[in-house]
Amino acid sequence: MKGRGATITPQPRYLRDEHDDFDDGWVGDLEAPPKLITTVTDETARSIISRNQSPDLPFNQSVNPYRGCEHGCVYCYARPTHAYLDLSPGLDFESRLFAKRNAASLLRKELGATNYECSPIALGSNTEAYQPIERKLRITRELLEVFVATRHPITIVTKAALIERDIDLLTTLAESSLVEVYVSVTSLDHALARRMEPRATAPSRRIETIRRLHGAGIPTGVMLAPIIAGLNDDEMEKILSTAAEAGAISASYIVQRLPLEVSPLFQAWLDEHYPLRAGKVMNLMRAMRGGHDYESDFARRMKGRGPIAELLASRFKVASRALGLNQRRSTLDTTLFRKPEQAGQLNLF
């Protein structure tokens, strides 16, 4: 379907019943499916700060203003979360979105709790905080305003040029060492990116975003995620050098992950768009996962294991060192945090 990433719509795994369209011979050919329209449902969230104890993540707190993501990245590890809403991790994930309209008020409440301890919050760790609906809804900007008022450190990973809208707030945070931004660049090949990430910002425009954020004094890095052996791994050095030239000071990468429904979604996508490479790509992926589609072990899920994974790690290390990346990473300051009620009192003077 044009403009969409998933090529199939698997049933939510928690539903008891499954439904399939088929021709019973009475009405002739099945009608073509209607055009898929993105819908946004307001959600009144009960809490907004999520916490984790995963040793392979660089943060233990995160805030997600949306459920689902219109970017439609076929490889997205967050797709299975839509099953909790009895919706498909396929096309539903990228077309049936939920907006947490009360996110900013909840954030103020939770930051003001007496037992809250400040540590960096990852903004948009599960789904894109700057996806297209943010242009109108502005929930992410409201959250940033809370972070600015409370002087709370944050990190952001995005593949959207829309983040440039908030350079004014990000610059304020950067002046006090309160923000780091990573721009995700999966490929510089526009044809490949258009198939993998149909509604995300074009690769060349993301590089320009790195340039503009860096020019505004905002610590900016590049994230190569995911690296897919046999599909985009040959671009690693080129992406790193292009991002470094634009001003990136740090870099990281993640090997393709295929948890739960992501595996059949990704394999169906490969069969549709790259049938001659599908077998090779999956064999290389399984070679980094002990013969499986996926391993959830914390020590392996982000980088894989075996000779191919070791080669990717070596290439990344050599290229990053040669380009001067990861030599002067900024440290986020947690000592400046003030609770929302304190911020409000200070604003009176």
Query: What is the total residue count of the chain?
Result: 349
Q: How far is CA 38 from CA 4, 96, 103, 162, in A?
A: 11, 6, 21, 19
Check residue 328 and give its pLDDT: 78
Q: What is the pLDDT along the chain (349 residues), one digit of tens a residue?
A: 788 999 998 888 887 766 666 666 666 555 666 788 999 999 999 999 999 999 999 999 999 999 999 999 999 999 999 999 999 999 999 999 999 999 999 999 999 999 999 999 999 999 999 999 999 999 999 999 999 999 999 999 999 999 999 999 999 999 999 999 999 999 999 999 999 999 999 999 999 999 999 999 999 999 999 999 999 999 999 999 999 999 999 999 999 999 999 999 999 999 999 999 999 999 999 999 999 999 999 989 999 999 999 999 999 999 999 999 999 767 899 999 999 986 655 444 4
**CATH number for position 270:** 3.80.30.30
Is 221 domain-assigned? Answer: yes
Q: How far apart are CA 58 and CA 337, in angstroms?
A: 19
Check residue 11 and give its pLDDT: 85
Q: What is the DSSP letter of 11?
A: P
For residue 104, which of 60, 150, 58, 157 has the smallest C-alpha distance?
A: 150
Is 195 domain-assigned? Answer: yes
Is 257 domain-assigned? Answer: yes
Q: What is the DSSP letter of 340?
A: H
| Pairing verdict, β 49-51 and 179-184 | unpaired
Is 333 domain-assigned? Answer: no
Is 82 domain-assigned? Answer: yes
Is 338 domain-assigned? Answer: no
Is 106 domain-assigned? Answer: yes
**Residue 124 is part of which domain span?**
39-323
Hey, what long-range contacts does 303-308 have (CB within 8 A, 24 or more apart)? 303/254, 303/255, 304/255, 308/229, 308/284
Quote the tokens at residue 226.
């995911």
Check residue 22 and give its pLDDT: 60
Is 347 domain-assigned? Answer: no
**What's the domain count of the chain?**
1
Q: What's the pTM?
A: 0.92
What Rg, from alpha-carbon coordinates, does the chain have? 21
